Amino acid sequence: MSEPLLSRKYFDGVYIPAGLLVFGTIIVKKEWTGYAALLAILLGAIKFWRIVPKKVLNPETFKEFELKEKTVISHNVAIYRFALPSPTAILGLPIGQHISIGAAIEQPDGSSKDIVRSYTPISGDHQPGHFDLLIKSYPTGNISRHMAGLAVGQTIRVKGPKGAFVYTPNMVRHFGMIAGGTGITPMLQVVRAIIRGRKAGDTTQVDLIFANVTPQDILLKEDLDALAAEDKGFRVHYVLDKPPAGWTGGVGYVTADMITVSFFPNFRIKWLPKPADDVKILLCGPPPMISGLKKTTESLGYQKARPVSKLQDQVFAF
């Protein structure tokens, strides 16, 4: 969403300087006011063009972006910050969509193969000049291993936007979200957009179930807890496969069997909204988990999920 033309940035950078130029000319030499107005319009247009955020993504063409900073979260998880071409540049990525990252990956036989994978940034267009990716590296993951080996100053190839889901304020009354592992990234993007939009009238309620193996595997927990503390309309519920002693959250994998047998009542009544026309369920995680959840949501009364989700679907899998 573009910044309003009456925002402070445009007043400070364009309107006020232009007004001062014209007003000063009236005081010093009134007959030059017309020229001053023309000059103010010209300079204002140039300044306006410079400070308006420039979208850099192209859905058809890969562009290269340089790794600016790498923040290690754990032995196999890091946040990668990539620089955009200018301090005012933005990806131009709608909320809920993702980017494609491509790289030439060496194969076991010594040949090279172009591999493309999809990722959702954890940053947004309200943060110009860079974008952040949260990536977990897997031993068999082509792109994730490639990212883990990047040094600051090296580049990646990116194109987009991609994806069928685009968030708009108040598109539903209530979101039920279920994420596993790095599947938290599109959920976090949507949640942050909703909370940022509260002042503009976004009243969307969100309940998020976030499944992991151990407490150490819960990515961005501090961020999620801070958002839940800040906004009463957002609630996060953690599920662990291997919980520590005294754990009060959900236990087990978030699959059809575990939901039905172990914490089905919580899942249906406490943690997710009941099926309704103004309710949407969002899913993102490992394929076996998503496959099981599609069946389970249907058994709970939600509309049957398609093999490939579309925006209008009640149950949408990223």
98 counts as catalytic: yes
> How would you classify the pairing of strands 77-83 and 63-74?
antiparallel
Residue recorded with tokens 């990047």: 150
57, 170, 177, 279 from 203: Cα distances, Å: 30, 6, 16, 13
List the catalytic residue out of 10, 25, 80, 119. 119
Q: Contact at 8 Å (CB) between 130 and 67?
A: no
CA distance 225 to 228: 5
CA–CA distance from 297 to each of 118, 278, 315 (Å)?
Answer: 25, 16, 8
Catalytic residue among 130, 182, 284, 297: 284
- How many residues in total does the chain contain? 318
User: Is the separation of the CB atoms in 290 and 186 below 8 Å?
Assistant: no
130-161: string of b/e by CB count within 10 Å (b at 16+)?
bbbbbbbbeeebbbbbbbbebeeeeebbbbbb
Alpha helix locations (H) across 86-168?
A: 142-148
Going by the annotation, the residues of the binding site are: 117, 119, 134, 136, 143-144, 185
Q: Tokens 């994730």 label which residue? A: 144
Residue ranges of the binding site for FAD: 117, 119, 134, 136, 143-144, 185
* Residue whose C-alpha is closest to residue 240's, from 228, 231, 248, 251: 251
Is residue 59 within 8 A of residue 162, CB to CB? The reply is: yes
- Helix, strand, coil percentages in the chain from 3-state DSSP, rounded to 5: 35, 25, 40
Does the annotation count 120 as an active-site position? Answer: yes
Q: Which of 25, 120, 204, 297 is catalytic?
A: 120
| CA trace torsion 222, 226, 228, 232 (10° rounding) | 170
What is the set of active-site residues? 98, 119-120, 284
